[in-house]
Chains A and B, each alone.
Chain A
Amino acid sequence: MLNAIIAAEAAGGAVAASGWFLENAWLVWLFPAVSFLAILLFGKRLPRGGSEIGIAAVGASLVFGLLTAIQWISEVEGAGGDSAEGEYALGKGALAAAADGEASGGVSALTRSITWLTNGAEAIGAGIMIDGLAVMMIFVVTLVSLLVHVYSTDYVAGDRRYTHFFAFLSLFTASMLFFVTASTTLQMLVGWELVGVCSFALIGHWWEEKPNSDAALKAFLTNRVGDMGLIIGVSILFFGAGTFDVIGVNEAALNGSMSHTVTLAGALCLTAAVISKSGQFFLHTWLPDAMAGPTPVSALIHAATMVVAGVFMVARLYGVFFEGYTIGGASINLLALIGGITTLVGATLAFVQNDIKRVLAYSTVSQLGYMVLALGVGAWTAALFHLFTHAFFKACLFLGSGSVSHAVHSFDMKKDMGGLRQAMPHTYRTFMIAAVALAGLPILSGFWSKDEILAGTGGWGLFGGTDANGAYTAMLAMGMITAALTGAYMTRVVYLTFFGEYRGHGTPHESGPRITVPLWILAGLATVAGFINFPAGFQLVPKSWEEKFFHWVEPIGVSYFPAIKHATPSWSLAIVSVVVALAGIGAAYRYYFVRVKAVSPTATELPDGLTARSSLARLGHRILVNKYYLDWLYTTVIVGFVKGPLARAAYWTNQHVIDRVVNEAGTRSVQAGNIVYHKVDQLVVDGIVNSTGKISDSSGEELRRMQTGKVQQYAAIMFIAATILAGIFIIVI
């Protein structure tokens, strides 16, 4: 098998990367894969139930991933990085050269593959494709996975399926790493489905209760619908490009050897996959339900890693999407539209959830929408940067919520939480950091990535911010509104969880170090992760610190990546977005921290009357009486309306229309199955068969009557038959 390794070919004129860790990056998924088997086989007999194997394996992967990253960075920095950097530093027209199709000394991905199967006398490979994107993903996945592993040793301690839990964590990690290092679309398909299965298994971890297994089924089936798109898309691209290789497919899309129609068809099919896997509108409903799984799982799979698989795939096959949707043609494309809608829908729905994890789930939907939106408008790096930062703060939030629920044995914010600030200081602090990061306030990581996306829409014509791949003003607006809503719903969560007075039972205690340490690590990362990609021309830091992420991750000057334009960062946009976010926070703050708290420390909503009375008839009166005009505006109009009718309507639509459609699809299939089976199969198809038998049988009975037992009737038959035969033959012949 070793001799089957096919040497990687340098793509385009770019320099091919090399290095031991890069070449052997398949080890990163091999460690956890082996760990999965080892845990299954020996886990139960080990003192810590197999978790030690998992932690060791993922740790090894992390180390390996880091080394790979270092090697990659040094490759990038070393190979023509200087000249490129010089150009980027100018901040505008950076990629003019690349746009001309000139491969200006970029570093192309390292690929290694073996023959996986031969079909039609053609070898189809499998292997690794290591570049900045892969390295970044390896880092994110292994890191979050490791932290979740550690966290879980406490969180699920004593669970009857402790060992299995870790086994599947390992399998998931392996699958995800396999997915992100895949060199062919076929492999991506494999990894894609494998993570889905792990998700299924982990969502349904507590399968004794039917809702959990229902949620697991729903997640899997919804994803399967998208997978259908992936399967078809991969097929189309295979025949379009003649290969499964990611590089080959991208090249074919970019150099026009694959027709635009085919490319578009492929992109559309893949988009379906993205919609289901990355929880985009209208197949997002499985994601909140998936919160039925253990919280660490939610953090790892449904926040940081698996759900971004769709985003990753778009990024990986960006050539296809870029050409297919003619991103940069400035017309609104499907990807951007879906992202935009999703981000709004998710943020709106996050308002009405009482389950802390469901808030976070909708928040994830919303943030994933951001990323897809970014990809849709051509802000490739921004999307991945947001993926990067989001992984940390969202994982932190989830783990934090887990820590809370660990203490109060519930996820219901209204019934069982409140005032946990004192009881759980570490959780509180880390949660706050992450929440602020999510809300996108400077200088935390969310700010940098969100801002970059907003700039990438190119819709901000004021004081810079142009020169993107077109002016997607609508996307910008959506992003802005979401920014406000994000701030607002996170404020609500924070209030309901940590402020006011405790509404639950018992006395909550802070979790142990195996929970808090990962929280702090993630909070730390949530704080600093943004620094890795200071915008160009940021001025406040040395130039060489600017755009490191972009530089390391985005493939530049290689034949398999489109020449995208990069937006110029804009101070004004950054300031406006912060203001918007603050406005959202402020509104929610007024509502909860001031008015709700004023009702009672244990209150979670204003009494019904207050909002109920906010009718037009009393408007004037209220304005006069209520000096807090802005307060009214904030609380009633913005928070009240958004949180009330709008979010409720959205939620109603969500539950009764979209989710219903999803569920109906299931029940209708079963009904169709029943009809087909009972009516068609048993009655018609089988009926025909059985009635043929019956007809033979009864015609046999009729013929049998001929056999009367009377010899002279026999004789008559004989004579008549002979006569008639003779007569007919004489006449006919």
Chain B
Amino acid sequence: MIAEHVAFGIIAAVMVASALRVVTARDIVHAALYLVIVLAGVAALFLLVGAEFTGITQVLIYIGAVIVLFLFGIMLTRSDFDQDGETDHKRKLPAILTALLLLAVMIGALVDRFGDDRLDPTPQTTAQVSDELFSQYIVPFEAVSVLLLAALIGAIVIARREQGG
């Protein structure tokens, strides 16, 4: 039990620190790399509480695909002009205040309700997940496949250069 807490503590601390760097780093590539750490932390947490399949998927999709996408994006949009440009707004106070206020509301609500409820870290098998996914959630599953296709096609159309001119 203690081990879990310790593990969680370490992971959480790393994640928060990295997340803060993601939103503060001057270099975009650095930010992307910090993001990797956060995402990896999330995956670790998933494993920690027994969500194996999701944890793996997290690694595959996020670190395997999304981050790569980001890096492509960063490279494609990097320009001389942007190099000198600011990555952040000059006035951050509104953003900080908003985030803190939101945090206060959330924490207040969560602490009030879930006090010291405990998790059940019993692992859930991939089979259980797939059983549920392909029965109860078959419709959204199919829909999401359409969504992915549409997003794929759409993204291509949008991102490709004007055909023919």
Contact = CB atoms under 8 A, between A and B. Distances in A.
Contacts of A716: 94-95, 98
Interface stretch (B46-54, B62-70, B101-109): B101-109
Given A730-B108, A730-B109, A719 B102 contact: yes
Contacts of B108: 730
A723 B95 CA distance: 13
A535 B131 CA distance: 132
Contacts of B98: 716, 719-720, 723
User: Chain A contact residues: over half helix, strand or loop, or mixed?
Assistant: helix
Interface residues of A, number: 10
B143 to A, nearest CB: 26
Interface in A695-724: 712, 716, 719-720, 722-724
A716 B97 CA distance: 10
B105 A723 contact: yes
A118 to B, nearest CB: 74
A712 B95 CA distance: 10
A727 interface: yes
A727 B95 contact: no
A726 interface: yes
Contacts of B109: 726, 730
Contacts of A722: 102
Contacts of B95: 716
Given A716-B95, A716-B98, A719-B98, A727 B89 contact: no
Interface size class for chain B? Answer: 10 to 19
B89 A723 contact: no
Interface string B85-116: 00001000011001001101100110000000
B89 A730 contact: no
Contacts of A720: 98, 101
Contacts of A730: 105, 108-109
Interface string A643-660: 000000000000000000
A727 B94 contact: no
A723 B102 contact: yes
Nearest to A710: B89
A353 B109 CA distance: 101
Contact of A712 (B89, B102, B104): B89
A709 to B, nearest CB: 15
A522 B89 CA distance: 110
Contacts of B104: 727
A730 B106 CA distance: 10
B94 A723 contact: no
A700 B102 CA distance: 29
A726 B106 CA distance: 9
A210 B98 CA distance: 79
B28 to A, nearest CB: 17
A730 B89 CA distance: 31
B95 to A, nearest CB: 7
A115 to B, nearest CB: 80
Interface in A425-450: none
B94 A726 contact: no
Contacts of B105: 723, 726-727, 730
Contacts of A726: 105, 109
A716 B101 CA distance: 12
Interface string B71-97: 000000000000000000100001100
A382 to B, nearest CB: 100
A323 B98 CA distance: 89
Contacts of A712: 89
A719 B98 CA distance: 7
A623 B143 CA distance: 134
Contacts of A719: 98, 102
Contacts of B94: 716
A731 to B, nearest CB: 9
A724 B104 CA distance: 11
B103 to A, nearest CB: 9
B92 to A, nearest CB: 11
Nearest to B109: A730
A658 B128 CA distance: 109
A724 B108 CA distance: 13
Nearest to A718: B98
A730 B108 CA distance: 9
A349 B58 CA distance: 116
Nearest to A729: B105
A324 to B, nearest CB: 83
Given A716-B94, A722-B102, A727-B104, 9 more contacts: A716-B95, A716-B98, A723-B101, A723-B102, A724-B101, A726-B105, A726-B109, A730-B108, A730-B109
22 contacts: A712-B89, A716-B94, A716-B95, A716-B98, A719-B98, A719-B102, A720-B98, A720-B101, A722-B102, A723-B98, A723-B101, A723-B102, A723-B105, A724-B101, A726-B105, A726-B109, A727-B101, A727-B104, A727-B105, A730-B105, A730-B108, A730-B109
Interface of A: 712, 716, 719-720, 722-724, 726-727, 730
5 closest Cβ pairs, A-B complex:
A723-B102, A727-B105, A723-B101, A719-B98, A726-B105
